Amino acid sequence: MLGNIISVDGFSSTGKSTLASKLAEHYNFYYLNSGLMYRIISYFALNNDCIIKDKIKESKLINKLNNLNFDWVIDKNGNKSLSFDGKIFGEKMYSFEISDIVSTVAKLESVRNFLFRQQKNLALQKSIVVEGRDIGTVVFPDAKVKFFLSAELDIRTKRRNKQIKESNISFDTKKVEDNLIKRDKIDSERKIAPLKKAEDAFEIDTSKKSQFEVFNIAKNYIDSNFQF
Ligand code: DC
């Protein structure tokens, strides 16, 4: 049985993580970052000789993923994080190396099927806010509340550069815009589960809005239309 689901889909660097984690905190839901799951699988592939010279060895990767699972880890303060194969993966999942390969890994049907099952399992018996690209369209088409975030490219590039400067990740900031454009294209043009707005999703253009304003718009939309 699934609990209440709120999906937050949209392009890269539109503020999905900020909104989804704030909503999860506000409604006391679990927060699932499905993009992080694709990044962890990309990292796993790179470190298990499943990507050689940008070529992905799909069947080798899927065999190695057999019996490995994502799970929730709850620390003594009640904070919930995501683990894969019992380990927690941090900021380095946002390095250039991973960002450069992740959309190509995410195109693979076997990887999408694997993560589809994992996402369904993580949501069992739980109320959850899930961010991604295909959450309201493919993974949880019956989600009670759906959001779709968009923003102008130059604003997204500035936000991503700021995030990179504030963190310890390695990324050539000149490559940020190119990487966003490349991922937008691969993510929205792929055959399986492309990035698109669900018909019943509520769209928020975050270009000229603060995180606080975006959260308030989403919260007002939820509180005026749904009951949990
Ligand atoms: O949200 P993010 O930028 O961390 O996601 C990384 C990549 O993962 C993104 O370029 C496309 C892919 N992705 C996906 O295909 N489907 C999802 N539900 C989430 C992410």
Distances from the Cα of 147 to the Cα of 94, 133, 220, angstroms: 23, 11, 13
In a domain, 162, yes or no: yes
Please state the length of the chain.
228
Q: Is 10 in the pocket of ligand 1 (CB under 6 A)?
A: no
Q: Distance, CA 220 to ligand 1 centroid (Å)?
A: 27
State which H helix or E strand residue 36 sits in: helix 34-47
Residue 173 clears pLDDT 80, i.e. is over it: no
In a domain, 225, yes or no: no
Of 9, 38, 105, the one to substitute when testing ligand 1's pocket (max ligand atoms within 8 A of C-beta) is: 38
Q: Give how many domains the chain has, as a whole number.
A: 1
Residue 213 clears pLDDT 80, i.e. is over it: yes
Rg of the chain taking only CA atoms, in angstroms: 17
pLDDT number for residue 214:
98
Q: Distance, CA 133 to ligand 1 centroid (Å)?
A: 6
Distances from the Cα of 56 to the Cα of 42, 48, 102, 131, 187, angstroms: 10, 11, 11, 25, 17
pLDDT tier for residue 76 given thresholds of 50, 70 and 90: confident
pLDDT number for residue 5:
97
Spatial separation of the C-alpha atoms in residues 26 and 93, rounded to whole Å: 26
CATH number of residue 93's parent domain? 3.40.50.300
Spatial separation of the C-alpha atoms in residues 75 and 81, rounded to whole Å: 8
In a domain, 116, yes or no: yes
Give the domain extent around 106.
5-219
Spatial separation of the C-alpha atoms in residues 126 and 20, rounded to whole Å: 15
In a domain, 140, yes or no: yes
pLDDT number for residue 163:
87
pLDDT number for residue 77:
84
In a domain, 200, yes or no: yes
Q: Do the Cβ atoms of 147 and 202 come closer than 8 Å?
A: yes
Distances from the Cα of 182 to the Cα of 12, 95, 130, 169, 175, angstroms: 11, 16, 23, 20, 10
In a domain, 70, yes or no: yes
In a domain, 228, yes or no: no
Residue 114 clears pLDDT 90, i.e. is over it: yes
In 3D space, the residue among 136, 119, 93 whose CA is nearest the CA of residue 30 turns out to be 119
**Mean pLDDT over residues 176-190, rounded?**
94
Residue 2 clears pLDDT 80, i.e. is over it: no
Residues 6+ apart with CB under 8 A from 52: none
* Between 54 and 160, the higher pLDDT residue: 160
Residue 196 clears pLDDT 80, i.e. is over it: yes
Q: Distance, CA 71 to ligand 1 centroid (Å)?
A: 18
In a domain, 227, yes or no: no
Mean pLDDT (the chain, rounded): 94
